[in-house]
Amino acid sequence: MDLKKVERVYTTYAGVYDQTFGRVFQQSREFAVRGLPIKPGDRILEVGVGTGEALPLYPRHCEILGIDLSPGMLKKAQARVREHRLDHVTLKLMDAGQMDLPDDAFDIVMAAYVVTAVPDYRKVVNEMIRVCRPGGRIVMLNHFSNGNKVIAAVEKMISPLCKHIGFRTDLSLNTVLEGTSLIVARKQKVNPLRFWHLVECVNQKNGHQPVG
């Protein structure tokens, strides 16, 4: 799976995403966004913003930057921003594995259905850590492989097929977090079918310890 292929896949899906995958994922997105500890003035980065379905859910007292690799997806997101008059939202075309953003720039980084849909998840996770301030929150809404050996074997088997449509199914949360500064503060299964996990992490880079 390479960047050009991912971009092609999601640009192809852009026109029908809201009526297909978007509907399946929307309840989980709503749950994730409404549970964020957003304070007035917080800076939020949404990685893989897609068509921007989650953008109207955020409170207007924060600043949001949404990035995506797909021009087709961003075109849909921009239309949504205009429709809902989301003046606190900015959108940019950007590779999540190589963000053109400064260090420690965001209080919260949200990545919904992203980590298992990129060619190099480590680059993306490391970039999210870099741009998130020490003590900030990194939230991943994603499917992670089950610890059950039988299910893991099935997931591993079907993963190459899933890659053709932009997903992989053989990645565990422990693998994603291994060697990072992220400490899990909250983890729970969410709809649909409680197949996806909402994982909220504290960014403890530079030895930062969370308060409370």
- DSSP states of 121-144 as a string? HHHHHHHHHHHEEEEEEEEEEE--
In a domain, 212, yes or no: no
Examine residue 97 and state whether it is found in any structural domain, yes or no: yes
Q: How many domains does the chain have?
A: 1
Place of tokens 């994730």: 32
Is the preceding omega at residue 40 within 30 degrees of 0, hence cis?
no
pLDDT range class, residue 162, cuts 50, 70, 90: low
7 occurs within a structural domain: yes
In the structure encoding, which two tokens stand for residue 24, read together?
């399946």
Q: Is residue 54 part of a domain?
A: yes
pLDDT at 34 over 50: yes
CA pair distance 197, 192, nearest whole angstrom: 10
Structure tokens at 196: 């996806």
Is 197 part of any domain? yes
Domain extent at residue 188? 3-205
User: pLDDT: is 8 or 50 the higher one?
Assistant: 50
Q: Does any domain span residue 112?
A: yes
Sign (positive or negative) of CA dihedral 8, 122, 140, 170: positive
The residue that leads in pLDDT, 102 or 28, is: 102
In a domain, 48, yes or no: yes
Average pLDDT over all residues of the chain:
81
What's the pLDDT score for residue 11?
A: 59
pTM of the model: 0.80
Average of per-residue pLDDT across 132-148:
85
65 neighbors 99 (Cβ within 8 angstroms): no
Give the CATH number of the domain where residue 85 resides.
Answer: 3.40.50.150
